[in-house]
Structure 1
């Protein structure tokens, strides 16, 4: 199966013409203007391709009109669904940037090769992301900053960190 990346989550219907309100899960909400289509899983976990008719970005988020979703009832059925893009439409990452889906499940070690646990969640706080690392007994929160995260090996699913005083 191809890689898919979440770019937004439908929070509600908007108006009576089938528009949906989308909470953007991207650092660049303007990217919705450049998307021709998105993918959405249906109830049977089958991917459905929806072409985008138009996009409006407001102070409260993104409003999207999907082709074939023409009534408020159609739009309400999509509430909670994730809008996804395939790998060819994913944003190109800068150096030291990673997709959250590629980080989840990484084994995390200190620079001294002490196993801390697996990265299980990423909180996006605005200032910097925070990684949640869990093992059988403990949970550690690590800021995703260069002083802490020393190496990320996506291919081997390994991260090396330097624990600052107090972590």
Structure 2
């Protein structure tokens, strides 16, 4: 399997109820991927080639960003649970036609994000979260630097000979996870999306970058 042949649209995360329904975390912004009956493809954990499967029906769960789908021949909870971790896919040629200012999520992942005013390369898009307005998760190029504390001298106990200075080991902190920010993916904040050059230019309002920074 090659990445340019297939599009991942979601991941089966759990069984739903007792009749074989499946909870799916979506990687696609197009509801028809999960709601319209038809052929889909499954890639089970550890396998390299997707297998065809028929989507019978599906619905969205409000507030949980999950779809519940029914696949053909998955008729009970045991069969549904066995599919946890399985990827749902479609052929790359089966991309919906986009309207103006619409983009495929997979096209946005990996794009560099620049501040339009200064030209600073802020970071790279690592995820897109669907919401009222979609949110770009941007991993910053400028990461915080962790400073390890110095060892502290151990206080000698009464009556002890302290001819040499002893050190008390201090646990080193774990390296911080990469710092990210969330950018609303709207025209006013991200006016330039250049797919050819893999470049997004943003004009964030004052305080936005500091307000939602995850450090």
Using the size of structure 1 for normalisation, the TM-score is 0.79
Inter-partner Cα distance in structure 2 for 1:17 and 1:154:
43
Distance 1:139-1:51 versus aligned 2 partners, 3 A rule: closer
Q: Give 1:153's match in structure 2, choosing from 188, 194, 201.
A: 194
Report the number of matched residues. Answer: 165
In the alignment, which residue of structure 1 is the partner of 2:38? 36
Structure 1 residues 130 and 105, CA, compared in 2 at 3 Å: closer, same or farther?
A: same
**Which range moves more in the overlay, 146-155 or 30-39?**
30-39
The structure-2 alpha-carbon separation of the partners of 1:96 and 1:136, relative to structure 1 and needing over 3 Å to count, comes to same
Give the structure 2 partner of residue 80 of structure 1: 85
- Give how far 1:116 is off: 0.6
Cα displacement (A) at 1:108: 0.9
What is the DSSP-based 3-state SS (H/G/I as helix, E as strand, rest coil) of the residue aligned with 2:197?
coil
RMSD value, Cα? 2.6
Q: CA deviation at 1:17?
A: 5.7
**1:18, 1:66 within 8 Å by CA — same for their partners in 2?**
no
Moved more, 25-34 or 128-137: 25-34
1:132 lines up with 2:130 in the alignment: no
Partner of 2:127: 121
Secondary structure of the residue that 1:20 maps to in structure 2?
strand
Do the aligned partners of residues 3 and 102 (structure 1) sit closer, same or farther apart at CA in structure 2, a change above 3 Å counting? farther
Q: What's the TM-score, normalizing by structure 2?
A: 0.64
Structure 1 position 146, deviation (Å): 0.8
* Kept after mapping to 1: 8 A contact 2:9/2:33: no
| Secondary structure, counterpart of 2:50 in structure 1 | strand
* 1:92 and 2:94 matched: no
Which of 85-94 and 109-118 deviates more?
Answer: 85-94
Match of 2:11 in 1: 9
Q: Give the Cα–Cα distance (whole angstroms) in 2 for the partners of residues 141 and 56 of structure 1.
A: 29
How far 1:154 moved relative to its partner?
Answer: 1.8
Structure-2 change in CA distance of 1:131 and 1:15 (3 Å)? closer
Normalized per residue, the structure richer in strand is: 1
C-alpha contact 2:16 2:68 (8 A) present in aligned 1: no
